[in-house]
Structure 1
Amino acid sequence: MLQLSHPALRPLALAAALVLGACSPMSSTAQTTPYVATDGTLLNVSAQGEAKRVPDIATISTGVVTRAVDSNSAMRANAEQMARVVDAIKAAGIPAKDVQTSGISLNPTYQYGENQPPKITGYEAHNTVNVVVRDIAKLGKILDTLAAVGANQINGPTFDVDKKDEAMDEARRQAIEKAQARAEMYAKTLNMRVRRIVSINEGGSFGPPMPMMRMQAMEMAKGADTSVSPGENTLSVNLDVVFELGR
């Protein structure tokens, strides 16, 4: 995005801003660039910087679905089967802080007949947990183990970068260098020079890789572990930088 403002227009813009400010209070979450008195020209440059990293953590969702003719039996069977799943998660070395229950539900199952009201035929119980795996090399084996002990719902994985600060700083440096180079180009084209940076506004984003997997009541083949490819994540930073140009 490019925005040039000429000094002659600034008094009108300032007057309009004062009138609007007197009429309505500004939201506490609004972001504004303060008016800057200058005899130069303000240039607003938007630039994006990126840093790529191989993910080092993965999150999966796993759980158990059980069915029975009555609600109590469905819940009891679910609890017993889920206990084996949780034990397997602990045995894999996953700490308690990385295991979080994401949903428990019990719902009737129905039989539908023509010109008849639905008839309850049984109950279905669900229990699901989210698990963070911090050693991706073990992820395939963990998935196979969960299926072997009774997990009949497995979704994921989603990959992430555990420590993002270094990567985000790399993206910031790239973005500011792009903005600076673009400002220098505009200044040279206009026979001007870049005097200073007036303001910097930052926004960030994170692009996880797309591969996903889903397993439901599957028998895992003996031998090799389930194949998992973490790919590469892109962390990006978007900067809006206001420069002052002058002669």
Structure 2
Amino acid sequence: MKLIRASLCAAVLVAGLSPLAAQEISAGARRTTLTVSGEGTASAVPDTATLSSGVVSEGKTAREALDANSSAVAAVIEAIKAAGIEPRDISTSGFSVQPSYAPPKKDSNDAPRIVGYQVSNGVTVRVRDLSKLGDLLDQLVTKGANQIGGIAFDIAEPGKLEDEARVAAVKDARHQAEIIAEASGVRLVRVVSIAADGGARPMVRQFAAAPALMKADSVPVEAGETTLRAGVTITYEIEPR
């Protein structure tokens, strides 16, 4: 009796709605869905690189350390410009002045004693022509840079590569849905919803030799390959075959 009473109540509720609303509820109650996730990748050889370099100088006074550092950094920046790097791609990335302390004597309670100063000045460089990278690294060290950070390779215009990864992700999701539907004895009716898993993002790169970017008289450089990954989740309406 409870089941019959509940069915009658539902029927009365649907009857009291507009024809369109009643149709939507009825269709929603019958709809069966399948949700799958797809992943796609797209790869390309990087065409830009960003590196950080700098000079650390020491002196008995802060003034002495600063003068030595300023002279060395000026030479480094001049070398960067001489390598064909535009001013817009050169920026100061860090500057500090710090005291240097003498090591404490054993079993001593004396306060640390300043014995000099250390000045550090960093420069970040974006290289748009990778054929210049090896020579640039060599010149940086030659002109006085004693700190060089990691080199980050990138794609200057990643839009096309991102689109390729997204298309591949949708195709992968569709392929999985078709396999599952075929094995389950159902067919895909239409797409109910699509959700992208954020923007395309870099994966761990696969490094490969790039002979065109290396010269015998410069620092060997390997650009490798940059891979972007994209993900998508798609829900399909399904029905029996």
- Retained in 2: the 8 A contact 1:194–1:244? yes
Give the secondary-structure state (helix, strand or coil) at the position aligned to 1:37.
helix
More helix by share: 2
Residue 127 of structure 1: aligned partner: 121
- Retained in 1: the 8 A contact 2:94–2:120? yes
CA 130–208 in structure 1, closer or farther in 2 if over 3 Å, else same: farther
Within-5 A mapping of 1:56-95: 56-95=47-86
Percent sequence identity over matched residues?
39
Q: Distance in 2 between matches of 1:185 and 1:119?
A: 73
Q: Distance in 2 between matches of 1:68 and 1:87?
A: 23
Residue 103 of structure 1: aligned partner: 94
- Retained in 1: the 8 A contact 2:190–2:238? yes
Within the candidate set 224, 227, 232, 1:231 is matched to 224
- Find the structure with the greater CA-based Rg: 2
Q: Distance in 2 between matches of 1:68 and 1:138?
A: 34
How many residues align? The count is: 201
1:208 positional shift: 4.9
After superposition, give the CA deviation of every residue in 1:38-82 in whole Å (9 maximum; x if it has no partner). Answer: 622222211110011111111110111000011111112111111
Structure 2 length-normalised TM:
0.79
CA 208–98 in structure 1, closer or farther in 2 if over 3 Å, else same: farther
- Retained in 1: the 8 A contact 2:206–2:225? no
Give 5+ residue unaligned stretches, structure 2: 1-26, 208-215
Structure 1 length-normalised TM:
0.77
- Structure 1 counterpart of 2:150, which letter? G
Residue 24 of structure 2: aligned partner: none
CA 171–210 in structure 1, closer or farther in 2 if over 3 Å, else same: closer
1:94 positional shift: 1.1
Q: Distance in 1 between matches of 2:220 and 2:234?
A: 44
Q: Distance in 1 between matches of 2:73 and 2:235?
A: 56
Q: Distance in 2 between matches of 1:106 and 1:210?
A: 39
After superposition, give the CA deviation of every residue in 1:128-182 in whole Å (9 maximum; x if it has no partner). Answer: 0111101111100001111111111112211111111111111111111110011
Within-5 A mapping of 1:1-247: 37=28, 39-112=30-103, 113-114=105-106, 115=108, 116-202=110-196, 203=198, 204-209=200-205, 224-247=217-240
- Structure 1 counterpart of 2:205, which letter? P
Give the secondary-structure state (helix, strand or coil) at the position aligned to 2:100.
strand
- Retained in 2: the 8 A contact 1:64–1:153? yes
Q: Distance in 1 between matches of 2:75 and 2:34?
A: 62
